Structure 1
Amino acid sequence: MALPLPPALSDTIVALSTPPGSGAIAMLRLSGPEAIALTDAVFVGKKLQTQPSHTLHFGTIRDGARILDEVVVSLFKGPNSYTREDVVEISCHGSDYIVEQILTLLTRRGARLAEAGEFTKRAFLHGAFDLAQAEAVADLIAADSALSHQVALQQMRGGFSQELRELRGRLVQFAALLELELDFGEEDVEFADRTGLVKLLNEVQTLVRRLLRSFELGNVIKNGVTTVIAGRPNAGKSTLLNALLNEERAIVSAVAGTTRDLIEDEVSIEGIRFRFVDTAGLRDTADVVESIGVERTRKRVTQAALLIYLFDITSTTPPELEAEIEALNPGRRIPVLAVGNKLDVASDPEIEAFQNQPDVLLIAAARGDGLDELREALLLKVRGEGLDRTGQITIVTNLRHARSLEQTNQALDAVLVGIEAGTGTELLAADLRQALASLGEITGEISSDDLLTSIFTQFCIGK
């Protein structure tokens, strides 16, 4: 259902919807009640008001007798448009001067420069899609991997919203029965079966908690995984980085302590972005520059989402490995993958010492042996239980959504505790209302101007 438009959103707006800067083509977008009339006033070609929707028209944009450019105008008549208003898109040559001249001409004729995200905000307010879908538009624009694109597209097409609507719908019926009990409070009757309510709440809470667990993975998909490669000098960290990136990104030398500073680069593994950080070898050193590198390594580890602790099989024992990881990552606060290198030159006893060690992977980085297994192990570390190979399940990627789900979960907890304690209907109803409100905030069924402003100002101008 469309929401009432604030007066400012009844204006006709215009913005450049392609990236600024010189290029082959630029596209300016207008939306609002006067979008077609304003364009007709400066466009020489067919009369746009009389043309059918979803058509293209060639002509010129003129300021009086002066031709500014030859353009192609795309016409979308509301409600069959992105914003559900009349929309005109003007494709001109991508000169900064031409764009500026056309924008100036249109604003002089009465259009207003659009604010950040205002086109999508209008689409939301007109009921084209809900708030979660609107936020997915920004995620889709920012998607830089196959998986982030897939998740954003699924959310934009309403997969997540549909699941939330089903959850909310299951709660609304019981909430209505509790409200009915309040209307007949003096008669001491129960319309809502408490046993059935407990069963429903447990089912809904299971789904809410699954969505909450998926946020850890969703955050990884959206923002990537900072993965620090740490270990002693000459363990092969730079060799491993080069092998994972499939390029000579870091200098490799037999001289210990070659890497003095952090070297970072990204690679996508099955749609998940990993930002690998090669670090200085961990050892006590009198070299001032190298000691700074070691300190930076320790600091970078604390900021990592995942730690690859690389060790030399030929010079490390299992007890030493455990002690080194504990010293660097006490209590394993950061997920760690222990990787033994130089499998190609290790003796059988040296290999056998680690073959039965849990969470230890053996590779030969210089030859590329075991790298496929390493990539699989990395994916398992970040995927957890939340993602199948097709990525078709619902995954939460938005912090705002995760916070609302957490509030929903807490409110459902309160209802369950209240039922067990025999709490009165009024308090149960209040907690259930809070759960419904928190779910409604995700899709925008319940929203405030401050919330909408916070969300849409993060969009780019022209979208």
Structure 2
Amino acid sequence: MSLAYQHLQDTIVALATPQGIGAIAVIRLSGADAITIANKVFKGKNLEAQESHTIHFGTIRDEGKIIDEVLISLFKAPKSFTKENVVEISTHGSNFIIKQVINVLLKHGARLAKPGEFTKRAFLNGQFDLAQAEAVADLISADSEAAHSAAMNQMRGGFSQEIHQLREELIHFASMIELELDFVEEDVEFASRDDLRKLIDKLLQVIEKLIVSFDLGNVIKNGVPTVIAGKPNAGKSTLLNALLNEEKAIVSEIAGTTRDFIEDEININGVIFRFIDTAGLRDTTDVVEAIGVSRTREKMKQASLILYLFDLTDTSIQEINQDINKLENLGIPFVKVANKIDKAEASLIDTLKSQHKDMLFISAGKKENLDDLKERIMELVNLDKFKTGSTVVTNIRHYQSLISTKNALNDVINGLDMEVTNDFLAMDIRQSLHHLGEITGEITTDDLLANIFSKFCIGK
């Protein structure tokens, strides 16, 4: 028996709500004996005689001593999250009460749940596939509208359905190729090689789109790394503070105040941006500042977006154009931001507007035109594809499996070109099916499941 299935007969218990004192806490039990164990410590109605999806008031007691007044929710198998008997006990939110209730349940036969064990049981019991199970964790950690929508789409099976359909089409051809191996001496062909090639080409197109979507999915899930760069005193720290509406970074008229990068998150129109305020770019003999400048250049190379600030009170048009040329050579989307318009010469602003139609003019100190900056940022991130409901890959494990599938499918195409024997062709098709199956959990190992669910919070 697989290790993943060995402890399914146990009844597990854990706190399902966050740690800490609150108005209420929810303690969850799941397993064949969940209702029986809860009934042993509950004073009220006989829980074993009650209908599923009902709530009951009473007290939890330990050898006659009342621990708390509670509400108990019953979910009888298979109509529950885990497809097992599930009991959820709503207690008052005292840490002392929570510990006492869990301890008395342990005393009557439950054991403490491991991280993600409730969701793992739901997967093992066929409630949903592995990709949907992983989406549960993403949904819990979603801190923006875009991340929530992506996780909800995956949890409801949008991504899984697409993968399942691809796999089903490939399985048909795989079975035909395998059948031919049984009739090798008759030299029969059950699977048209031309039709197989057309199918592989079609699969590769779909998989390539999913692979490409990971760049967007990664942004949705983890936020857009956005570097605020420019020369010393361009107003980078002031801009960060203005966007955050708090004094996060030290602001000073002394050049070189920011020696290292400062990072914080901002939600703009439902998308998380990780703004990084960096040390000013200039040649310096100060060893510490030079390290900061070096780190700035590295952060710029790693960014998805750069906001490059120009100080209109202390930068010539020639310097601005030189910096823009350097930015263009990086190959990373950037916004030209002319700062300190409240102090700049009108003639300089007019000249720059005529030369650079896409340059934004702001005053970070006065918080002028920041909405225009946010709008430009959203245009460059370009979430249109996501908003149309297209499937977006947000999970690095899925991305890696798709890459492996693509490579295996290319091996099938190469095999067809070289007219390899059926056994080699079948082997490459099986590899493709294997990697697709890893995504939804049709192909799993105990190590894989342990790695995935260990990252979940306890109680989920």
TM-score, normalisation: structure 1: 0.91
Q: 1:445 to 1:215 in 2, by over 3 A?
A: same
Superposed, which structure 2 residues align to 1:258-277 within 5 Å?
258-277=257-276
Would you say the 8 A contact 2:337–2:362 is kept in 1?
Answer: no
SS at match of 2:7: helix
Q: Which whole-Å CA distance do the structure 2 matches of 1:239 and 1:100 have between them?
A: 47
Q: Using the alignment, how far apart are the partners of 2:18 and 2:368 within structure 1?
A: 44
Residues 259 and 454 of structure 1: is their aligned pair in 2 closer, same or farther, counting only changes over 3 Å?
Answer: closer
Query: What pairs up with 1:404-423 in 2 under 5 angstroms?
Result: 404-423=401-420
Q: In the alignment, what sits opposite 2:337?
A: 339
Confirm whether residue 362 of structure 1 aligns to residue 367 of structure 2.
no
Amino acid across the alignment from 1:424: T
For 2:435 and 2:251, how far apart are their aligned partners in 1?
A: 53
Report deviation, 1:319.
5.8
Q: Please report how far the alpha carbon of residue 286 of structure 1 lies from its aligned counterpart in structure 2 after TM superposition.
A: 5.0
Task: Write the mapping of 1:213-252 to structure 2, written as runs, cut at 5 A.
Answer: 213-252=212-251
Q: 1:346 to 1:404 in 2, by over 3 A?
A: farther
**Residues 32, 85 of structure 2: 8 Å contact kept:** yes
Partner of 1:25: 24
One-letter amino acid matched to 1:90: I
Is the CA contact (8 Å cut-off) linking 1:234 and 1:254 kept in structure 2?
A: yes
| Contact 1:140/1:153 (8 A) holds in 2 | yes
Contact 1:314 1:350 (8 Å CA) reproduced: no
Amino acid at match of 2:183: F
CA–CA distance in structure 2, aligned partners of residues 128 and 212 of structure 1: 27
The residue that corresponds to 1:142 in the other structure is: 141
Cα offset, 1:298, TM superposition: 3.5
CA shift in 2, pair 1:377/1:422, >3 Å: farther
Q: 1:118 to 1:389 in 2, by over 3 A?
A: closer
Query: How far off its partner does 1:377 sit?
Result: 3.3
Deviation for aligned residue 1:387? 3.8
Q: Are the aligned partners of 2:220 and 2:271 in contact in 1 as well (CA < 8 Å)? A: yes
Matched with 2:277 is 278
* CA spacing shift, 1:281–1:351, aligned 2, 3 Å: farther
* Pairwise CA distance, 1:23: 1.8
CA distance in 2, matches of 1:425, 1:251: 68
Partner of 1:70: 69
What amino acid does structure 2 have at the position aligned with 1:461? I
Q: Which residue of 1 aligns with 2:179?
A: 180
Q: Deviation per CA, 1:34-71, whole angstroms, max 9, x where unpaired?
A: 10111111100000010000000010111112111111
Distance in 2 between residues matched to 1:293 and 1:440, nearest whole Å: 46
Q: Which amino acid aligns with 1:51?
A: Q
| Structure 2: distance between partners of 1:96 and 1:255 | 50
C-alpha contact 2:278 2:296 (8 A) present in aligned 1: yes
Aligned residue number for residue 378 of structure 2: 379
Between the aligned partners of 1:436 and 1:90, the Cα distance in structure 2 is 43
Deviation string, structure 1 residues 3-22 (Cα, Å, up to 9, x no partner):
99723121111111111222
> 2:3, 2:446 within 8 Å by CA — same for their partners in 1?
no
Q: 1:457 aligns with which of 451, 454, 459?
A: 454
176-185 or 303-312, larger mean C-alpha shift = 303-312
The partner residue of 1:439 within 436, 440, 443 is 436
Does the Cα contact within 8 Å between 1:151 and 1:391 map onto a contact in 2?
no
Deviates more, 1:223-232 or 1:77-86: 223-232
DSSP 3-state at the match of 2:83? coil
SS in 2 for 1:461: coil
Contact 2:386 2:392 (C-alpha < 8 Å) held by counterparts: no
**In the alignment, what sits opposite 1:151?**
150
Q: Counterpart of 1:267 in 2: which secondary structure?
A: strand
For 1:412 and 1:319, the matched residues in 2 are separated by 52
The secondary structure found in structure 1 opposite 2:121 is helix
Partner secondary structure for residue 9 of structure 1: coil
Secondary structure (helix, strand or coil) at the match of 1:70 reads strand
Summarize the Cα distance change of 1:365–1:196 in structure 2 as closer, same or farther, 3 Å threshold.
Answer: farther
**What do residues 350-404 of structure 1 show as CA deviations (whole Å, max 9, x unaligned)?**
644564558x522223455554443233234333xx6437352111010000000
Number of equivalent positions: 457
- 216-225 or 306-315, which moves further after superposition? 306-315
Q: Which range moves more in the overlay, 367-376 or 54-63?
A: 367-376
Task: Give the Cα–Cα distance (whole angstroms) in 2 for the partners of residues 341 and 236 of structure 1.
Answer: 7
CA contact (8 A) 2:5 2:124 kept: no
Aligned to 1:193: 192
Bigger drift between 119-128 and 165-174 goes to 165-174
- Deviation at residue 171 of structure 1 after TM alignment: 1.3
> Conserved in 2, the CA contact under 8 Å of 1:313 and 1:351?
no
Measured in 2, the distance between the counterparts of 1:77 and 1:46 equals 16
Counterparts in 2 of 1:443 and 1:260: CA distance versus 1, 3 Å: same
CA distance in 2, matches of 1:270, 1:437: 39
For 1:21, what is the secondary structure of its paired residue? coil
For 2:213, the aligned partner's letter is: S
CA distance in 1, matches of 2:188, 2:347: 77
Q: Which runs of 5+ in 2 are unaligned?
A: none
The alpha-carbon deviation at position 204 of structure 1 amounts to 1.2
**Could you tell me how far apart the structure 2 residues matched to 1:429 and 1:293 are?**
55
Identity within the alignment, %: 56
Pairing 1:401–2:408 present: no
Closer, same or farther: CA 424–370 of 1 in aligned 2, 3 Å: farther
Structure 1 residues 291 and 416, CA, compared in 2 at 3 Å: closer, same or farther?
closer
Q: Distance in 1 between matches of 2:306 and 2:331?
A: 10
The residue matched to 1:427 in structure 2 has which SS? helix
Task: Give the conservation status (yes or no) of the 8 Å contact 1:326–1:332.
Answer: no
Does structure 1 conserve the Cα–Cα contact (< 8 Å) formed by 2:259 and 2:288? yes
**Which SS does the other structure have where 2:52 is aligned?**
coil
Q: 1:430 aligns with which of 416, 427, 430?
A: 427
Q: Aligned pair in 2 of structure 1 residues 357, 414: CA closer, same or farther (>3 Å)?
A: farther
The worse-fitting range, judged by mean Cα deviation, of 303-312 and 317-326 is 317-326
Greater mean alpha carbon deviation, residues 142-151 or residues 13-22: 13-22
Instruction: Please state how far the C-alpha of 1:290 moved relative to its aligned partner.
Output: 4.6
Residues 387 and 393, structure 1, Cα contact 8 Å, conserved in 2: no
Cα distance in 2 between the residues matched to 1:231 and 1:12: 59
Aligned to 2:118: 119
Q: Which moved more, 1:26-35 or 1:344-353?
A: 344-353
